[in-house]
């Protein structure tokens, strides 16, 4: 049987990764901007380890079937193409290199269970080089430093955390359920365990009212953590979310695209980190990427140059959010 579940979301950097669904939905489910609420994200479900392993074996069978077909047809140098054609994006000519565990907070699992799943993944796919997952800062804080180290030793390479903002007022407004102090502590603890850390920033989530404190507070938290990656996302108010209702009622006033770039400039300028800054999401306006602090001047220059361009040129790039996708 080659049926297996896949997580509904994953970071863009994991688009070619083996996607393993270890839990379903989110243990929090209250962030007002999160379109996960549309999929009933409030109902966390823990899957049985045996069911997860069955899925992993089913994916292995799928890969073996493609490899066998390639061998029988003298096409071993085209395994990747064949796999993509069969919607198997995670198989390359050299095997499976990267994997992602979903859904939104795998640390909610018992450490023994998560270790068992990760070790089984490496055993089943010996070419694996990286296993990553999403996690909530609050859940990470419930794990001891020893547990996090154990997960790292088992092969958990990276955790993706949604910081969104480092400002406590905005964190409260979006009902993130975590304070900035907890964000800092969780980030530091993950880094100390040896697990690589990717923090996501949500540009525009302070709206017109709090854009400045959002940028400054976020820089403050990121400076205290110094994560391996800072990934920028731009707010899209998706119909069906509580944030969308606040936009419609006028309670939340969104920034204009130019306002978003002004906010991003303030954030980048205030960063004092050694992180890789990444804009790898379709929601972002400018491709601001680079290793900090070296790339800071170039990124700021790019924003300034863009903002100085004639309005009609700028506007042709700054599409309203209705034309972008979450
Ligand atoms: S923690 Fe993440 S998945 Fe859960 S509600 Fe918040 S943004 Fe959505």
Q: Is residue 119 part of a domain?
A: yes
- Asked if residue 193 has pLDDT above 60, the reply is yes
What is the model's pLDDT at position 312? 80
Residue 157 lies in a domain: no
The verdict on 122 and 173 lying in the same domain is no
Query: Best of 104, 138, 177 to mutate for ligand 1, by most ligand atoms within 8 A of CB?
Result: 104
Q: Do the domain assignments include residue 147?
A: no
Q: Is residue 61 part of a domain?
A: yes
Asked if the model's pLDDT at residue 243 lies above 70, the reply is yes
* 155: in domain: no
Could you tell me the distance, in angstroms and rounded to a whole number, from the CA of residue 308 to the centre of ligand 1? 36
pLDDT in tens, 260-279: 999 999 999 999 999 999 99
Q: For position 320, what pLDDT does the model report?
A: 54
In a shared domain, residues 179 and 126: no
Give the pLDDT confidence score for residue 326 in this predicted structure. 45
Residues 228 and 113 in one domain: no
Q: Whose alpha carbon is nearest atom 6 of ligand 1?
A: 31
* Shared domain check, 187 and 121: no
Contacts of residues 302-309 at CB distance under 8 Å and 24 or more positions apart, as own/partner, are 303/261, 303/264, 303/265, 303/268, 304/265, 306/261, 307/258, 307/261, 307/262
Q: Do 33 and 106 fall into the same domain?
A: yes
For residue 2, the model assigns a pLDDT of 73
Which strand ranges, in their side-by-side order, compose the sheet holding 18-21?
Answer: 18-21, 98-102, 130-135, 156-164, 196-203, 229-234, 276-278, 290-291
Model pLDDT for residues 2-38, shown as the tens digit of each residue: 789 999 889 999 999 999 999 999 999 999 999 886 7
Domain final residue pick, 135, 152, 177: 135
Residues 196 and 250 placed together within one structural domain of the fold: yes
Which has the closest alpha carbon to 130: 49, 21, 23, 14?
14
Query: Same domain for 114 and 210?
Result: no
Question: Where is the domain boundary, 116, 135, 154?
Answer: 135
Structural domain boundaries enclosing 59: 1-135
Q: Taken in order 283, 285, 290, 292, is the CA torsion positive or negative? A: negative
228 within some domain: yes
Residue 292 resides in a domain: yes
Instruction: Tell me which of 135, 152, 184 is where a domain ends.
Output: 135
Q: Does one domain contain both 173 and 314? A: yes
CA of 314 to the centre of ligand 1 (A): 33
173 CA from centroid of ligand 1 (Å): 14
Nearest to 199 by CA among 292, 286, 298, 111: 292
Return the bridge partners of 276, or none. 229, 291
Between the CA atoms of 281, 283, 286 and 288, what dihedral angle is there, to the nearest 10 degrees? -30
Do both 172 and 286 map to the same domain?
yes
Mean pLDDT of 189-216: 98
Give tens-digit pLDDT for 79-129. Answer: 999 999 988 999 999 999 999 999 999 999 999 999 999 999 999 999 999
Give 53's Cβ-side CA count (13 Å radius). 12
Residues with CB under 6 A from ligand 1: 26, 28-31, 34, 36, 41, 104, 136, 162
Q: How confident is the model at residue 325 (pLDDT cuts 50, 70, 90)?
A: very low
Per-residue pLDDT, averaged over 307-320, amounts to 77
Centroid of ligand 1 to alpha carbon of 74 (angstroms)? 46
pLDDT at 1 over 70: no
**Into how many domains does the chain fold?**
2
pLDDT tens per residue across span 39-82? 767 789 999 999 999 999 999 999 999 999 999 999 999 999 99
Q: What is the pLDDT of residues 137-182, one digit of tens each?
A: 999 999 999 999 999 999 999 999 999 999 999 999 999 999 999 9
């Amino acid at each position: 049987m080659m049926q297996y579940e896949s997580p509904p979301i994953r970071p863009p950097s994991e688009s070619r990764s083996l996607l393993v669904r270890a839990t379903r939905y989110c243990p929090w489910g209250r962030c007002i901007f999160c379109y996960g609420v549309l999929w009933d994200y409030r109902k966390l479900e823990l899957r049985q380890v045996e069911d997860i392993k069955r899925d992993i074996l089913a994916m292995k069978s799928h890969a073996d079937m493609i490899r066998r077909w390639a061998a029988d047809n003298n096409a071993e140098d085209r395994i990747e193409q064949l796999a993509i054609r069969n919607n198997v994006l995670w198989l390359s000519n050299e095997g499976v290199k990267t994997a992602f565990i979903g859904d939104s907070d795998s640390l909610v699992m018992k450490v023994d269970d998560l270790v068992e799943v990760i070790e089984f993944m490496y055993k089943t796919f010996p070419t694996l080089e990286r296993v990553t997952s999403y996690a909530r800062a609050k859940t990470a804080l419930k794990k001891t430093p020893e547990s996090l180290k154990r997960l790292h030793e088992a092969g958990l390479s990276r955790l993706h955390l949604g910081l969104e903002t480092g400002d406590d007022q905005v964190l409260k407004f979006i009902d993130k359920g975590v304070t900035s102090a907890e964000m800092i502590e969780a980030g530091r603890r993950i880094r100390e365990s040896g697990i690589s850390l990717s923090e996501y920033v949500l540009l525009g989530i302070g709206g017109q009212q709090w854009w400045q404190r959002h940028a400054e507070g976020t820089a403050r938290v990121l400076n205290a953590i110094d994560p391996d990656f800072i990934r920028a996302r731009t707010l899209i108010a998706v119909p069906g979310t509580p944030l969308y209702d606040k936009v419609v009622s006028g309670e939340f006033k969104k920034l204009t695209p130019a306002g978003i770039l002004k906010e991003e400039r303030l954030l980048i300028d205030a960063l004092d980190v050694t992180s890789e800054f990444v804009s790898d999401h379709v929601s972002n306006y400018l491709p601001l990427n680079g290793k900090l602090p070296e790339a800071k001047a170039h990124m700021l220059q790019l924003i300034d140059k863009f903002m100085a361009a004639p309005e009609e040129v700028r506007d042709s790039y700054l599409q309203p959010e209705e034309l972008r996708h979450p």
